[in-house]
Structure 1
Amino acid sequence: MDGINLHDPLFATYVVAASLIILKAVAMSWLTVVRMVRAQGGYRSPEDIKKTPLNPAPDPAQLLPNEDVERIRRIQMNDLESLPYFLVAGFLCVLTKPSLLLAQCLLYGYVASRLLHFLAYLTGQIHDIRAMLWTVGSVILVFMTVRTLLVALGA
């Protein structure tokens, strides 16, 4: 499989897109922590309200849901529901050797749709906007997967 290296523009495109989407997903964990620290709440586990240098005045209310924290958790859950499919579908699609332009449109299009979905969710946009952005990413995933399947069946 001499084509799977970073000198192959198709594989390099996948690596860039996958790296961006993984960094975005990891950033959600950090953003959750930032929001919890800022709110001094939204914690989930009983041990989170023990007295520590980072929580010098624990309060049972810190275990109550905090909307700012929960919003990031919902964004992260949405990522966890879709990103693994992208990583696999994108890799398999690249193995079918699509044109570089098609691969860039699909892979970067998915990344753009997820970043825009994140911004829409973070800023509390109406469901219709989030749904439209989610749909774009979902259609890209379905297209990549069906195209890959058809190429594999024809091989």
Structure 2
Amino acid sequence: MTLFSLTNPVFETYVIAAALMVLKVMGQGWMTVYRMMKSNSGLASPEDVQRGILNKSPDPAQLDRNDYVDRSRRMHRNDLENIPAFWVAGLLFVAVNPALWLAQVLMYGFVLARAAHFVAYATKQTHEIRATFYTTGSLIVIYMALHTLWAVLSAA
């Protein structure tokens, strides 16, 4: 069995968690587009206010900030600030062959923390609630990176 093969249950765990996070990042982008189209506002760039198939009645006011759209944009930015670190740390974590139970707790824990962060943000929960889920996910990524460093340095 090689470490980076689906015959390795730790790698399989990573693949599932990483794929779910790909869907989260991409889905959040589509959610932002949906919200812009639904509200006909919150457009991001001046060229977006041009007549076209999707914008039959352009108006400069469409560029005004819209919290409904901007909230989704902020969630997307938060994903882009956090999920890529998970992809890298998780893959490096697989390389040091951790215990399966540990990989599952950490990787699925990260997925659950990001899902909870999404729900908290989408439902306008307090910063403290969002921060709790952000912190959980962040600490998981930091732990995986430190665990990997420790394993590599200990083997040297």
Letter in 1 for 2:84: P
SS in 2 for 1:114: helix
Q: What is the deviation of 1:95?
A: 1.0
Which residue number corresponds to residue 68 of structure 1? Answer: 68
Which residue number corresponds to residue 88 of structure 2? Answer: 88
Counting only pairs closer than 5 Å after superposition, residues 3-82 of structure 1 correspond to structure 2 as 3-82=3-82
SS in 1 for 2:106: helix
Q: What is the deviation of 1:7?
A: 1.4
Tell me, in whole angstroms, the C-alpha distance in 1 between the residues paired with 2:149 and 2:53. 54
Is the Cα contact below 8 Å between 2:42 and 2:65 reproduced in 1?
yes
User: 1:136 and 2:145 equivalent?
Assistant: no
Is the Cα contact below 8 Å between 2:42 and 2:62 reproduced in 1?
yes
Unaligned 5+ segments in structure 1 are none
Letter in 2 for 1:13: T
Aligned length: 155
Is the Cα contact below 8 Å between 2:43 and 2:64 reproduced in 1?
yes
Q: What is the deviation of 1:93?
A: 0.7
What's the TM-score once normalised by structure 2's chain length? 0.96
CA RMSD of aligned residues (A): 1.0
Which residue number corresponds to residue 102 of structure 1? Answer: 102
Unaligned 5+ segments in structure 2 are none
Which aligned runs of 4 or more in structure 1 are off by greater than 3 angstroms? Answer: none
What's the TM-score once normalised by structure 1's chain length? 0.97
SS in 2 for 1:53: coil
Q: Deviations over 1:26-81 (max 9, x none)?
A: 00110000000000010011121111121111111001111011001101111111
Is the Cα contact below 8 Å between 2:6 and 2:12 reproduced in 1?
yes
% identical equivalent positions? 48
Tell me, in whole angstroms, the C-alpha distance in 1 between the residues paired with 2:27 and 2:99. 31
